[in-house]
Amino acid sequence: MEQILFGYCRVSSTSQNEDRQLIAMAEMNIPEKNIYIDKQSGKDFNRPQYRKLLRRLNEHTILYVKSIDRLGRNYAEIQEQWRIITKEKKSDIVVIDMPLLDTRRGKDLMGTFLSDIVLQVLSFVAENERSNIKQRQAEGIAAAKARGVKFGRPPIPLPENFYEVYKRWRKKEISVKEAARLCKMSKSTFHDRALKYEKGA
């Protein structure tokens, strides 16, 4: 019986584009109706299209993914999904970017052993690269803050009467509630902006 081809694509958010993955699937001659796409984070496997795909996999199917990290965000998840696909579902799997990860080849003990070693190494590399990216991002943000770069939305400009109202509030002529009302702010916002003003921020 001829094996049925399936493809799985994942991007981390709806703003990212899956075209590169779809082009790779087309080059493998995978029918469009057999390609499943999830547009959300890989932090867990509560992904609707992935779950639908798993239900269709069996010993007569081949699953294609562009790269190993499409299966998960960390070493353990990638290993577990590989086990489910190949052991429980008995489906073959092909990682397009890594020809060594092709379960159709080397069905003997040595072939399986080599495939498992490559999978473990690549899973580790994928997780390690994500950790390095996060570390570089954190270091970049810290360096930018040290240079005085401000993150987040800029504060809303103070109303023209803020300083006059602030002085009256400080002299206890009016309550914080009244001061906030005159400035058209909430009490917490007025208090926060007053403290920043005192600190020269």
C-alpha 97/C-alpha 190 separation (Å) is: 56
**What's the pLDDT at 133?**
63
**Do 170 and 198 contact (CB within 8 A), yes or no?**
no
Q: Which of 12, 41, 175, 186 is catalytic?
A: 12
**What's the pLDDT at 152?**
61
User: Containing H/E element for 132?
Assistant: helix 109-146
**What's the pLDDT at 15?**
56
pTM for this model (two decimals)? 0.58
**What's the pLDDT at 192?**
86
**What's the pLDDT at 200?**
67
Q: Mean pLDDT of residues grouped by 10 in the chain (201 residues)?
A: 91 74 93 90 70 94 91 79 89 88 71 65 67 68 70 72 89 89 88 81 52
Q: Write 81-87 long-range contacts (CB < 8 A, 24+).
A: 81/45, 82/119, 84/54, 85/54, 85/57
**What's the pLDDT at 77?**
83
* Cα–Cα distance list, 100 to 142, 156, 159 (Å): 40, 56, 65
Q: Is 13 a catalytic residue?
A: no
